[in-house]
Amino acid sequence: QQQVKQSPQSLIVQKGGISIINCAYENTAFDYFPWYQQFPGKGPALLIAIRPDVSEKKEGRFTISFNKSAKQFSLHIMDSQPGDSATYFCAALTSGTYKYIFGTGTRLKVLA
């Protein structure tokens, strides 16, 4: 119930391609879904987040798509660049609480 399942575990994309990372959840009480980007040796940095009242949120090359009925959300990175190579974590939270539930991470490598 409290898990967030993330896939794939690793992803290799050519420069300029689209990177897609998926997450699924069970707990319908979750209502805040952030994505974090983590470079080696660094802490996770908030990248983009969505609430379930919208189906899509776009910030620059990063887009979250949200499917409430399927309880799934995904991160799309358009025009992927080598500098995007990092580990990406999805997470879920219930408003008014504080305990983020993180996915297991996706290691993205963008080839030059």
Fill in the per-residue mask, 60 to 89: x = in contact with other proteins (CB under 8 A), - = not in contact. -----------------------------x
Cα separation of 24 and 67, whole Å? 10
Q: Which of residues 40-59 bind other proteins (CB under 8 A)?
A: 41-46, 49
By the rule CB under 8 A, 103 interacts with other proteins: yes
Which of 69, 95 has the CB closer to other proteins?
95
Q: Which residue has the tokens 């987040």?
A: 49
Q: What is the DSSP letter of 1?
A: -
Per CB under 8 A, the segment of 12-20, 60-68, 73-81, 92-100 that binds other proteins is 92-100
- Residue 65 DSSP code: E
Contact 31, 94 (CB under 8 A): yes
What SS3 class is residue 105?
coil
Rounded distance between C-alpha atoms, residue 47 and residue 10, angstroms: 18
- Contact with other proteins (CB under 8 A) among 27, 72, 93, 109: 93
Residues that bind other proteins (CB under 8 A): 6, 32, 34, 36, 41-46, 49, 89, 93, 95-100, 102-105
